[in-house]
A and B are shown apart, each in its own frame.
Chain A
Amino acid sequence: MANQDDIALMAHLMRRAGFGATRDELEARVAKGYDATVEELLNPETQPPVDPYVLLRHQPAALLPGGQPPMGNVNYMYYLVNTKRPLEEKMALFWHSVFATGNSKVDNYDQLLEQIDLFRKNGMGNYRDLLLKIAKNPTMLFWLDNNQNHGTAVNENWGRELLELFSLGAGNYTEVDVREASRAFTGWTFETKLPRLPYGRFPWKFEYRPEDHDDGEKEFLGHKGNLNGEDIINIVVQQPACAKFICRHLYNFFVADEPQVPAWPIEPPRDPQAIETLMHAFRHSKCEMKPVLRALFMSDFFKNARYQHLKSPAEVVVGTLRIVGGYELPKPGYGELSMQPAYMGQDLLNPPSVEGWHTGKEWINSGSLMSRINFVASQIGNPDLPGVQAIINRLKAQGTKTPQQLVDNCLDLLGPVEVGAGTKKELTDQAKSWGEIRWENDADRQNAARRAAEMLQLIAATREYQFG
């Protein structure tokens, strides 16, 4: 029997480095050990990838979904729910949040999904290489107008966001640097987009047009020469500001909520020492992401940050679906299901702008809170779902009887969820009003299952449960 602290720590790791795990999975992982689990997460190739052909067979329209929701969302949700490489998928979501690219302009989920796949394949590799790949990604080039960035007429959209939102953060470069960086990326474009009809869309492809490139001398962050886009990236990743910016993003995403990105030049990090630790790993490994992530997940500041992070809608929805089970195959209703994060304020593949989503407290408003709670409750309160059944079976096997046991065991099996004394008292009072539960005969067991389902729903409705 696994130690409760080990389970709690493993649950924390799996919520952050993935999208949560069932109790069976947690116990198996605890048996393997925390360090070994971190290594497995960091080396996803040891686990099988999601099989796209299953998706194709069940939901053909989700494979090349075009510009209309929800088929693009179905495709993405299918991967999120089914991945056996949780950290690979979580890092893809991380980069999607940083390199925020949206269907609102791209109008082509095919291309957005291809970008997500780029994040899956390269998200735990070298950041410099990833930056170069995203600079050549047609979806990004179109999103930030670099196809309109010409040797004779500079468009600064990509050049600016590369510095402000993708690498350094505001205040770490001048307007001249923006201009010069943009000049260096002239001629970085993609093959002409072909119309979608009648055979569907043609995939977009990177193209470098030397005749459209500005070959003049440029001066960027103190470096002079006939710089090209790749030179700009090489200079950018050398900047101390770059390490700091990426590490603060990682901290905000994986450890604890920071203020919104635009406030970073003014507000100091929540834990400057933690950022230093991550920056050291980043610089030491020359922008390799794995050593940074390893340092993060092995650190005390990570292990001690339980429930210091307001769950994003994707974490709420995917985390719930992975625990309750029964969503391994696309089935009727999957489209609506895949739109749930959007109803809670996180329209995946369609962030509101290149700034990405605002996180933490800003996930919550009157509409989104009700959506979050009701969605989780509708799933976790459904005893027909295999994961809920498994929880009820465990409650029975544990001999759950008294109101206190019902509350404690439900809190434990849903997380373990840590709640304040006030919440605990309310949950217990609720359970007391039901009296003791019994499992002797069918009627008892039915009643017990109903009470358990109601308690699980009530826990899912607590404020504490909004944190992960």
Chain B
Amino acid sequence: MSATQATQKDPVLVVLQLTGGNDYLNTVIPYNNGLYKDNRKAVGIADSDMLHLDQAHAIPSYMAPLKKFWDDDKLAIMHGVGYLDSPRSHFRSMDIWHTCEAEKVGTEGWLGRVVREFDPKKENVVTAVSFGPCLFRALAVPNVPVACVSGPLEQYGFLPSIRDQAQRLKVLETFSHMYQPIEGSGVMEYLGTTGLDGLKGADILKVAPGRYKSTVNYPNTTIAQKLKGVAQVHLAGLGTRVFYCDHGSFDSHAGQAPLHAGLWTAVTEGLEAFMADLKEHNASDNVIVLMFSEFGRRVRDNGSGTDHGAAGATFVLGDKVKGGHYGEYPSLDANKLVQGDLNPSMDFRSIYSTILDKWLGLNPAPIVNGTYEKPAFLH
């Protein structure tokens, strides 16, 4: 093994889920297309409120931090992402993105499968760390441990309601004794293993905030604070390969303009701080961020917002990302729309396939349940 190989860092994937259905048309604006203005009388972005990426596309000014990634060639924009017969239901759509099963209800999350590949013997219970209220389906596979941080990282673990820290440590010691899995005891054994995995994960993660020092100030938004948690764990060098976090809700049926602006300001400012933080610690070159939403929104607005649609935009950013456009912006022509929605031109599983194959070094087919084209958005 050569010296460079020996010091090579493991590639890390950060997923940022834009929950609720982000409006593609107002995120990557086809500003020269007359049909955009025609269809967006109420929620269209004015020329003075957008930043041009090139001759055809712009982003709203409130997404300004993303423009810097674009100018540095570190932002890949995937166009027309979705899948056939999009159900336009939040929950079902999200499920399809999480399990890669569009026909039936899937039982395994695609990232849970990734974790199982990386750590089949469960040697590192923080191979995947999720920042959200619950275990996202994308990470759920039976017997695959995932650390789920639902509050501040400092409080992660069992029984944070015991506030006296010395007392809590004693109680957790008791907890670890009580959960010893006795082989052959069935459900009790399973509970024991699951409990101890959780305890071990908390023990490992709790060192992260202490080890962390940075000059970067994260905004005081929920998404920025989650990304700060991601940075803390990543910088602590705990062997975490998959991070997951979410922000929302992007479900802008009404009052879209201020809602969309607030959400994207928080997301892009958070990402700006996150990448600056990693850069400051020379820890950005092995991280990419995948940002997706379960669907885009209806082409024609409804007077103050937009309803559920089909195709959307997906973003990948990072040092090793080959910036640019991938795929084609679906046509806005009325006769090309499907029930008033943009017709997907790229299957979301092809983006996963590139990431699995070119970034994480895994065979994509068994993870995404099939073989898909692999857009070349990574160096």
Binding site for B on A (CB under 8 A): 68, 102-105, 107, 257, 310, 339, 342-345, 350, 352-353, 355, 360-362, 364-371, 373-374, 377-378, 381-382, 422-423, 426-427, 429-430, 433, 454, 457-458, 461-463, 466
Given known contacts A105-B92, A457-B162, what 11 new A-B pairs fall within 8 Å (CB)?
Answer: A105-B87, A365-B135, A366-B146, A367-B130, A370-B148, A427-B174, A433-B170, A458-B171, A458-B174, A461-B178, A462-B178
Within 8 Å by CB of B140, from A365, A462, A466, lies: A365
Judge whether A366 and B145 touch: CB under 8 Å: yes
Contacts of B130 in A (CB 8 A): 367
Partner-binding segment picked from B64-72, B153-161, B318-326, B352-360: B153-161
User: Given the interface contacts A378-B161, A429-B174, A430-B171, does A366 sit within 8 Å of B148 by beta carbon?
Assistant: yes
CB contacts under 8 Å to A, within B181-201, are: 187-188, 190-192, 194-195, 197-198, 201
User: With A339-B133, A366-B198, A462-B178 in contact, do A361 and B146 touch (Cβ < 8 Å)?
Assistant: no
Q: Does B301 contact A (CB under 8 A)?
A: no
Residues of A within 8 A of B191 (CB): 364, 369, 463, 466
Q: Is the CB of B146 within 8 A of A367?
A: yes
17 chain-A/chain-B pairs, Cβ below 8 angstroms: A105-B87, A257-B187, A310-B187, A361-B190, A364-B194, A366-B135, A366-B201, A367-B134, A369-B194, A369-B198, A370-B157, A422-B180, A427-B174, A427-B178, A430-B170, A462-B178, A463-B179
Give the residue among B177, B178, B191 with the most A Cβ atoms within 10 A: B178
B89 in the interface (beta carbon within 8 A):
yes
How far does the Cβ of B205 sit from chain A's closest Cβ, in whole Å? Answer: 12
Complex contact A426–B187 (CB within 8 A): no
Return B255 CB to nearest CB of chain A, in Å. Answer: 14
Count B interface residues, CB 8 Å: 45
A-side contacts of B178, CB under 8 Å: 422-423, 426-427, 461-463
Q: Which residues of A contact B158 (CB under 8 A)?
A: 370, 373-374, 461
**Interface flag for B39 (CB, 8 Å):** no
Q: Are A350 and B195 in contact (CB under 8 A)?
A: no
| Complexed CA–CA distance, A364 and B189 (Å) | 12
CA distance A352 to B146 in the complex (A): 21
Query: Taking the nearest CB of chain B, how far is it from the CB of A345, in angstroms?
Result: 8
- CB neighbours (8 Å) of A366 from chain B are 125, 135, 145-148, 194, 197-198, 201
Give the shortest distance, in Å, between B325 (CB) and chain A (any CB).
32
A381–B158 CA distance with the chains assembled, in angstroms: 13
Q: Which of B148, B157, B190 contacts A367 (CB 8 A)?
A: B148
Are B177 and A374 in contact, CB atoms less than 8 angstroms apart? no
How distant is A253 from chain B, measured CB to nearest CB, in Å? 17
Check B90 against A104 for contact (C-beta < 8 Å): yes
Q: How far is the CB of A462 from chain B (nearest CB, A)?
A: 6
CB of B84, distance to nearest CB on chain A (Å): 17
- Residues of chain B within 8 A of A378, CB atoms compared: 160-161
Residue numbers in B under 8 Å from A339 (CB-CB): 133
Q: How far is the CB of A373 from chain B (nearest CB, A)?
A: 6
A63 to B308, CA, bound (A): 24
Measured between beta carbons, the chain B residues less than 8 angstroms from A345 are 134-135
- The reply to whether A374 and B159 contact each other, CB–CB distance below 8 Å, is yes
B341 at the interface (CB under 8 A from A): no
**Bound Cα distance A64, B89 (Å):** 20
Q: Are A104 and B91 in contact (CB under 8 A)?
A: yes
Closest A residue by C-beta to B112: A365
Contact indicator A454/B162 (Cβ below 8 Å): yes
Task: List B residues 125-154 near A (Cβ within 8 Å).
Answer: 125, 130, 133-135, 140, 142, 145-148, 150
Query: Does A426 contact B146, Cβ atoms closer than 8 Å?
Result: no
Query: B167 near A: Cβ within 8 Å?
Result: yes
B216 at the A interface (CB under 8 A): no
CB-defined contacts of A463 to chain B, threshold 8 Å: 178-179, 188, 191-192, 195
**Cβ–Cβ contact A361 & B187, under 8 A:** yes
- What is the CB-to-nearest-CB distance from A383 to chain B, in angstroms, rounded to a whole number? 11
Residue of A with least CB distance to B303: A197
- The verdict on B376 contacting chain A, using a C-beta distance below 8 Å, is no
Bound-complex Cα distance A362 to B135 (A)? 14
Cα-based distance from A362 to B125 in the complex (angstroms): 20
A270: min CB distance to chain B, Å:
13
Q: Is the CB of A367 within 8 A of B175?
A: no
Distance in angstroms from B94 CB to nearest chain A CB is: 9
The answer for the CA separation of A310 and B194 in the assembled complex, in Å, is 15
Q: How far is the CB of A8 from chain B (nearest CB, A)?
A: 21
Known contacts A366-B147, A366-B197; decide if A426 and B90 are in contact (CB<8 Å): no
Known: A107-B89, A339-B133. A461 touches B175 (CB 8 A): yes
Cβ A381 vs Cβ B160 within 8 A: no
Instruction: Write the chain A residue with the least CB distance to B186.
Output: A361
Q: Which 9 pairs show the lowest CB-CB distances between chains A and B?
A: A367-B135, A104-B91, A367-B148, A343-B134, A378-B161, A353-B105, A463-B191, A430-B174, A366-B145
Q: How far is the CB of B258 from chain A (nearest CB, A)?
A: 18
Using Cβ atoms and an 8 Å threshold, which residues of chain A touch B125? Answer: 366
A369 touches B142 (CB 8 A): no
**Closest residue to B176 on the A side, CB-wise?**
A426
Q: Given known contacts A370-B158, A377-B159, is B92 in contact with A342 (CB within 8 Å)?
A: no
Which of B171, B188, B190 is A457 in contact with, Cβ under 8 Å?
A: B171
Chain B residues with Cβ below 8 Å from A352 are 95, 105
| Contact indicator A104/B161 (Cβ below 8 Å) | no
CA distance A374 to B161 in the complex (A): 7
Q: What 1/0 mask marks residues of chain B from 89 to 107 whose CB sits below 8 Å from any chain A CB?
A: 1111001000000000100
A102: nearest chain-B partner, CB-CB: B91
B193-220, CB under 8 A of A: which get 1 and which 0? 0110110010000000000000000000
Q: Please measure, in the bound complex, the distance between the C-alpha atom of A344 and the C-alpha atom of B201, giving whole angstroms.
A: 18
Whole-angstrom CA separation of A104 from B177 in the bound complex: 41
| Complex CA–CA separation, A463 to B175 (angstroms) | 10
By the criterion CB–CB under 8 Å, are A368 and B135 in contact?
yes
- B 79-124 contacts with A by CB, 8 A: 87, 89-92, 95, 105
Chain A residues with Cβ below 8 Å from B142 are 362, 365
> For residue A350, which residue of chain B has the nearest CB?
B91
Could you tell me the distance between the alpha carbons of A68 and B105 in the complex, rounded to whole angstroms?
A: 22
Q: Which of B91, B145, B150, B160 has the most CB of A within 10 A?
A: B91
The answer for the CA separation of A103 and B16 in the assembled complex, in Å, is: 24
Q: Which residue of B has the minimal Cβ distance to A427?
A: B174
Cβ contacts under 8 Å, B198 to chain A: 366, 369-370
Of all chain B residues, which has the CB nearest A344? B134
List residues of chain B with CB within 8 A of the CB of A360.
187
Name the distance in Å between A360's Cβ and chain B's nearest Cβ.
7
What's the least CB distance linking A314 to chain B, in Å?
A: 15
- Nearest CB of A to B227, in Å: 20
